[in-house]
Structure 1
Amino acid sequence: MTMAGAVSSHDIRAARLENAKMRERDLSAKLGITEAQLVAAHVGDGVTRLRADLDALMAATTQLGEVMSLTRNESCVIEKVGVYDNYKSGAHAALIVNEEIDLRMFPNHWVHAFAVEKKTEHGPRRSLQVFDAAGDAIHKIHLRDASNHEVWPGIVESLKHEDQSDSVSVTPRVPTEGPKGDPAKADTLRAEWDKLTDTHQFLQMTRKLKMNRLGAYRMAGAPYVRKLKTNAVETLLHEAAETGVPIMIFVGNSGCIEIHTGPVKKIVEMGPWINVLDPGHDLHLRKDHIAEVWAVTKSTRRGPAISVEAFDADGWVIAQFFGVLRQEGAAEQWNTLVASLEEEKEAELV
């Protein structure tokens, strides 16, 4: 990756003009810079650097009314339309939970923030964009026609950073930790797994055993996990749409996890992408990035929580899918759907 300063802000702005229709993520990759550097190069020209203060940003976003909430990783993008109500602050983790917008946010990774305003033939397009220390997008909030645009100038002014330079310093990305397990602890892993009463205890358990999620899955075996064919996510989404079973979809990065709860209806495949294109909810997932898919069963006080989890070749979890336990009959429908997904017979568990 090219670090800040290797490409001048002037050259970045020129490249933006020459590639006006190219997505920011694609253009930054072409230039060998990060997306945060691409955005920062336009400070003073439709872009304002903001304080990356999560509490202040969420208070401001609440004033905007209906917006589009976007979270992505390298292989998946989730977009939800709604209002940023019911924000709960936290030093290590904050959250918003309402019917449309459901977020888990980790403020240590909210490092660079910008207000972005682009002129178009249909009027200004406005967004708040947050990036981590490596310059990768953490979360974006896009205003819509129904948003409260009249409060935008005041919000930008109130959040404005004292530093309005047109470059940012970024640090190298922290590489994804590959699968980490210990065959000598396989029996201990299964014994501890049997004691789970809540899904949130799982990562605490793996850390205690000096493993990680994927490493544990590769070791546990039945009845805890089943390795599925890599097309299982496609099958799952099509089946969920056809049967109407509500599902939960988790998509995240180091600084934010965004969740959809409810049905999916319109599934469209375009090249390597599988897409959910529903009113108020879009999902775009790169099928060709999926290297492993696991069906996972964890015990809870309300019964087994069964998930389907897709990983890339580096071991990053692209997306997770769960049933909706609180809706009558939905958990049984979900469990039946997951049980029908085809297993990867040749899988070798270590």
Structure 2
Amino acid sequence: MAENTGLRARDLATKLRVTEAELVAAQIGHCATRIEAHPDRLMPAVCTLGEVMALTRNDSAVHERTGRYETFHPGAHAAMVLGAEIDLRIFPSSWVHAFAVTNQRDAGPSRSLQVFDASGDAVHKIYPRDGTDLAAWDRLVAALATGDRSDRLVPAARQDVEPPRSRPEKTEELRTAWARMTDTHQFLRLVSRMKMNRLGAYHIAGAPFAEALAPGALNNALIACSEGAIPVMVFVGNRGCIQIHSGGIETLKAMGPWQNVLDSRFNLHLRLDHVAETWLVEKPTKRGPALSIEAFDARGGLILQLFGMRKEGAEDTDAFGDMTRALPRLPKSPDEA
């Protein structure tokens, strides 16, 4: 359907005032088949497909990575796909609806596997590439087809993005606990225990833990990493999936409000005009400080995280840290000066 309008499915759904999952469900019996959505069923089958393109997005960033789905680690709350190129963190409760879609084009059939959350928003999508085993793809669809031929889907209400939540009276307690961290994964548990959230904690922590960067700093960082061949980890996610690129950024091309990474196996499409806040964040680990640049939209939703890439068993270089020291900060308020 979307292919015949010239619009991307997400944009067509918005134009029609339906969710993207409703738009796909309307094609059941024509070019869409309902398949099992739970990652414990879907991911082992995807691991048989060979080389594909994985896509995860939110409202402001699209992350596309070509590679193989390798080792799948199931988990009730969080699961993982760990591979040299496809690297995912999966939250199974948001994998609610899934479809195999085949659209006929002049150049041949266009296939995809598409997963959506309860509200009908895309969680994760998979597209074939030249190295994809299409016979394995067909076996996946046949094995996971649910038999449900309903072309209707009733989405649940969307969960609102939580705005920054701080507790200024706990600033010193936050800073003390932050300084004692030994792993970045401890951070969200720490701020949750204090009844704050990520962005709220950044608002009150202060340097060296969190520094507000000036508008444009994220784009400056992408350009600097590209020009300086600085290896990075780029995290883009939504409620159901986080997708990670580890490696270089080579080709940047700005188009209107979008900044784009257009490399052979990694593409990133980023709406710079959606970035309302950018923070430079430092978290202690056993291997030394982990630095990240983190961008948020006007609602407080996390758009993207950019980390310096570390390789196991290799000496860390400080190229990413050197780059971050040159980024412009927001002017301090009179109270902070």
Same fold (TM over 0.5): yes
Task: Tell me, yes or no, if the aligned pair for 2:100 and 2:112 is still in contact at 8 Å.
Answer: yes
Aligned mate of 2:322, from 320, 330, 336? 336
Q: What's 1:78 paired with?
A: 63
Task: Tell me, yes or no, if the aligned pair for 1:324 and 1:331 is still in contact at 8 Å.
Answer: no
Aligned residues between the structures: 335
Aligned partner letter, 1:164: R
Aligned mate of 2:115, from 130, 140, 144? 130
Q: What's 2:22 paired with?
A: 37
User: Could you say if the C-alpha distance between residues 331 and 200 of structure 1 is closer, same or farther in structure 2, counting changes exceeding 3 Å?
Assistant: farther
Shift of 1:152: 2.6
Which residues of 2 match residues 149-228 of structure 1 at below 5 A? 149-228=134-213
Which residues of 2 match residues 1-350 of structure 1 at below 5 A? 16=2, 20-326=5-311, 328=314, 331-346=317-332
Residue by residue over 1:210-237, the C-alpha shift from the partner in whole angstroms, topping out at 9 and shown as x without a partner, is 0000000000111111100121111011
Shift of 1:320: 0.2
Secondary structure of 1:235 counterpart:
helix
Q: Which moved more, 1:146-155 or 1:248-257?
A: 146-155
Aligned partner letter, 2:327: L
Task: Tell me, yes or no, if the aligned pair for 1:218 and 1:349 is still in contact at 8 Å.
Answer: no
Aligned partner letter, 2:329: E
Shift of 1:329: 5.5
Task: Give the Cα separation in 2 of the matches to 1:295 and 1:243.
Answer: 19
Task: Tell me, yes or no, if the aligned pair for 1:176 and 1:316 is still in contact at 8 Å.
Answer: yes
Task: Tell me, yes or no, if the aligned pair for 2:61 and 2:236 is still in contact at 8 Å.
Answer: yes
User: Could you say if the C-alpha distance between residues 104 and 347 of structure 1 is closer, same or farther in structure 2, counting changes exceeding 3 Å?
Assistant: farther
Give the structure-2-normalised TM-score.
0.96
Sequence identity percentage: 47
Shift of 1:51: 1.4
Aligned partner letter, 1:107: P
Residue by residue over 1:52-108, the C-alpha shift from the partner in whole angstroms, topping out at 9 and shown as x without a partner, is 121221121112110000000000000000111111111111111111100000110
Aligned partner letter, 1:337: M
Task: Give the Cα separation in 2 of the matches to 1:349 and 1:169.
Answer: 50
Task: Give the Cα separation in 2 of the matches to 1:240 and 1:337.
Answer: 8
Task: Give the Cα separation in 1 of the matches to 2:105 and 2:316.
Answer: 44
Task: Tell me, yes or no, if the aligned pair for 1:323 and 1:330 is still in contact at 8 Å.
Answer: no
Task: Tell me, yes or no, if the aligned pair for 2:233 and 2:247 is still in contact at 8 Å.
Answer: yes
Task: Give the Cα separation in 2 of the matches to 1:218 and 1:72.
Answer: 25
Task: Give the Cα separation in 2 of the matches to 1:175 and 1:347.
Answer: 30
Q: Structure 2: where are the runs of 5+ without partners?
A: none
Give the structure-1-normalised TM-score.
0.93
Task: Tell me, yes or no, if the aligned pair for 1:69 and 1:142 is still in contact at 8 Å.
Answer: yes
RMSD: 1.5
Aligned partner letter, 1:334: F
Task: Tell me, yes or no, if the aligned pair for 1:71 and 1:139 is still in contact at 8 Å.
Answer: yes
Aligned partner letter, 1:333: A
Secondary structure of 2:244 counterpart:
strand
Residue by residue over 1:145-202, the C-alpha shift from the partner in whole angstroms, topping out at 9 and shown as x without a partner, is 2211122322111101131100111111100000000111111111111111110000
